[in-house]
Amino acid sequence: MLRSLGLALTVAGFALAGPAGAQTEWQRVHLEDETTLDIPAIVGEEYHVPAKLAGQGDLMFFSVSSDPAGLMDCLLKRTFYGVGPSGPPSRDEMVATLKDDRRIDLCIGRGTNRRKAINEGGMLKGFPSGRCVVGYTDEGQGPDAGPGSGRVLDTLVVAAPEAYYTLACTLRAADQRMAEREWFYSWRGVIQHMQGSLLVP
């Protein structure tokens, strides 16, 4: 069951002190399919994906953190529309999902105690879009999966003409309450900036 939430940057060993949103400088990146967006400048060139993952539709991936207790992963994925009952949805099906409360299904992580913060549809740069944010506890993850079991998944989906694009950022923290607080106070503005800057072909 979903319930409403009550509610310094590191890459490869480099850190900025203080809230992530206040410390962020931006760089504009141009991806292989002509998609562009802003990402934190400290990421540098560490957003490229291996060829195998690029062949599966992954366009960008990076991890940043504000302190040793928190980590945020962001993935941008392109999925071409499908036809028929199996495989990806058609564009009409995706647009219908983004217009409906069912868009929350695009934001369900694996875990328990799921709590919904945002479930909204709209338009981005002329294309139908939807955003959902869910906090949860990822009890099945081992110690190598991140700083703890707390998660917030903040996802934007844009239905472009030839494919739909998913920008999914997962905040990881010691527990769910801490992850939700970190998302709200430190990372929400960073993620919203990236989402608002996204321009897809």
Q: Which spans in 46-187 are helix H? A: 51-54, 91-99, 176-182
- Confirm whether 1 is domain-assigned: no
- Confirm whether 3 is domain-assigned: no
Q: How many domains does the chain have?
A: 1
The CATH number that applies at residue 71 is: 2.60.120.1690
Paired tokens of 122: 């709209």
Residue 77 in this model has a pLDDT that exceeds 90? yes
- Confirm whether 174 is domain-assigned: yes
pTM, rounded to two decimals? 0.85
Read off the pLDDT of each residue in 119-142 and give the average, rounded to a whole number.
Answer: 89
Q: Are strands 127-137 and 150-159 parallel, antiparallel or unpaired?
A: antiparallel
- Confirm whether 156 is domain-assigned: yes
- Confirm whether 151 is domain-assigned: yes
Domain extent at residue 74? 8-197
Mean pLDDT of the chain: 84
Residue 122 in this model has a pLDDT that exceeds 90? yes
pLDDT tens figures, 105-120: 887 666 677 788 889 9
Q: What's the burial of 67, exposed, middle or buried (CB within 10 Å: 0-12/13-18/19+)?
A: middle
pLDDT tens figures, 24-57: 799 999 999 999 999 999 999 999 998 888 989 9
Find how far residue 117's CA is from the centre of its chain.
Answer: 14
Q: Are strands 58-67 and 150-159 parallel, antiparallel or unpaired?
A: unpaired
